[in-house]
A and B are shown apart, each in its own frame.
Chain A
Amino acid sequence: EIVLTQSPGTLSVSPGERATLSCRASESVSTFIAWYQQKPGQAPRLLIYGAYSRATGIPDRFSGSGSGTDFTLTIRRLEPEDFAVYFCQQHGGSPPWTFGRGTKVEVK
């Protein structure tokens, strides 16, 4: 199965600054990467799929990029509600669909 490695484990950022999160796949997944945001006690929330397509209702300060094995989620101008854990997931080819272990974005 495809292993996704996210870095860093924790990212300390000040509100209003940019956050850049990385996700690396153990083999090429083309552009079949999704990103989710999760807050404590809640289900994950879909942000991005197909590496760069924003899900319905997601603000344009969230953007995704990458292809092959290296992907990035960028959050420009962090808002207070953006401090959370972010997961990547590969969604191409055939199951199993796998997730990264997450990056926690915390207040600096």
Chain B
Amino acid sequence: QVQLDQSGPRLVKPSETLSLTCAISGDNVSSDGVTWNWIRQSPSRGLEWLGWTYYRSKWYSDYAVSVRSRIIFDADTIKNQFSLHLKSVTPGDTAVYFCARGGPNTPVSVFQFWGQGILVTVSS
């Protein structure tokens, strides 16, 4: 059974970088046929897909337009985890952040396994 365990700070100051990590068990971050996604949820934006990263002989990432200029994903094959780094945060980035896996028994853009979610508050 795949499990995703999220970690990271719950409070980030405005203009700083929000970094979260999703540790994977029951699968491998470089598995073929899967994608590793970040999704956030807030009352104002609802559920918002932030982007994905995946390995197909090399690493690929794609990001939502709303955050593309501020966001980077990376993956650590040794620790079997992937991370989100969102720069220059504002209070508008306050949300519950989820990591999620797409595929392989579903389409890669369908999310069957999710992390527990972390509420990140942006405030001074």
Q: Are A49 and B106 in contact (CB under 8 A)?
A: yes
B26 interface hit (Cβ, 8 Å): no
Digitize A55-87: 1 where CB-to-B-CB distance is under 8 Å, 0 elsewhere: 110000000000000000000000000000001
Chain A residue contacts of B55, Cβ below 8 A: none
Give the residue among A1, A42, A50, A91 with the most B Cβ atoms within 10 A: A91
Chain A nearest CB, measured from B26 CB (Å): 14
- Within 8 Å by CB of A96, from B64, B106, B110, lies B64
Q: Are B49 and A49 in contact (CB under 8 A)?
A: no
B73 interface hit (Cβ, 8 Å): no
Chain A nearest CB, measured from B112 CB (Å): 5
Q: How far is the CA of A55 from the CA of B105 in the complex (A)?
A: 9
Identify 25 residue pairs between A and B in the complex whose beta-carbon atoms are under 8 Å apart, listed by A's number: A32-B107, A32-B109, A34-B110, A36-B111, A43-B116, A44-B47, A44-B98, A44-B114, A46-B106, A46-B110, A46-B112, A49-B106, A49-B110, A87-B47, A89-B47, A89-B111, A91-B109, A92-B109, A95-B49, A95-B51, A95-B64, A96-B64, A97-B49, A98-B49, A99-B48
Chain B residue contacts of A99, Cβ below 8 A: 46-49
Q: Are B49 and A56 in contact (CB under 8 A)?
A: no
Report, as a range, how many residues of chain B touch the other chain: 20 to 34
Chain B nearest CB, measured from A11 CB (Å): 18
Within A19-34, which residues are at the interface with B (CB < 8 Å)? Answer: 32, 34
Select from chain A the residue with minimum beta-carbon distance to B110: A49
Q: How far is the CA of A96 from the CA of B65 in the complex (A)?
A: 8
Q: How far is the CA of A55 from the CA of B78 in the complex (A)?
A: 31
